[in-house]
Every structure is written in C-alpha cells, then in structure tokens.
C-alpha cells in the first residue's frame, strides 16, 4: 500500500517476458527480494496481515533490509 510499490507489466515500453515475471510482476523496491513476487497469479485482499509463503518458512513479516529483518 506504499507509493513506490507497483505491478509492472512493461520494461522500457516493452511487455515483460515470462522469464522476467511477465505478464505482470510485483515490485517492492525497499524490501528484501522475496517481497517482490516474480510471478503473480492472483490477489487476495485481507482485513489483517497473515504470513505468506516465505513468512511461513521463517522469513520476517516485513522484510526491511535497513532494519535487518530477513529472518524472524
């Protein structure tokens, strides 16, 4: 929900190739890479923050590299 988070579908005015996350890729620049899903196959809107794939495997819920939030 931050201003710099986006769904990218093009790079340099060209559609994203599947090897680079096409047709659409999530970009979360300020967090560790696992927060920027390479392939998006759906969205789920929740009323509270729940652990996702990586968080259920021991990674931090936020993942801010400046706060060293890689693992829980």
Look at phi and psi of residue 27 and say left if phi exceeds 0, alpha if psi is from -120 to 50, else beta: beta
pLDDT of residue 56: 92
pLDDT digits (tens, 9 = 90+) for 16-55: 999 999 999 999 888 877 787 888 888 889 999 899 888 8
Does residue 49 contact residue 61 with C-beta atoms inside 8 Å? yes
pLDDT of residue 15: 96
Collect contacts of 52-61 with beta carbons under 8 A, ≥24 apart.
59/32, 59/34, 60/32
Instruction: Tell me the whole-structure pTM to 2 decimals.
Output: 0.68
How far is residue 68 CA from its own chain's centroid? 17
């Amino acid at each position: 929900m931050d201003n710099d988070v986006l769904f990218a579908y093009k790079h340099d005015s060209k559609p994203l190739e599947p090897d680079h996350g096409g047709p659409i890729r999530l970009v979360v620049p300020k967090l560790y890479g696992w927060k920027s899903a390479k392939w998006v196959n759906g969205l789920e809107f929740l009323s509270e923050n729940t652990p996702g794939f990586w968080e259920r495997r021991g990674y931090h819920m936020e993942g801010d590299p400046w706060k060293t939030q890689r693992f829980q």
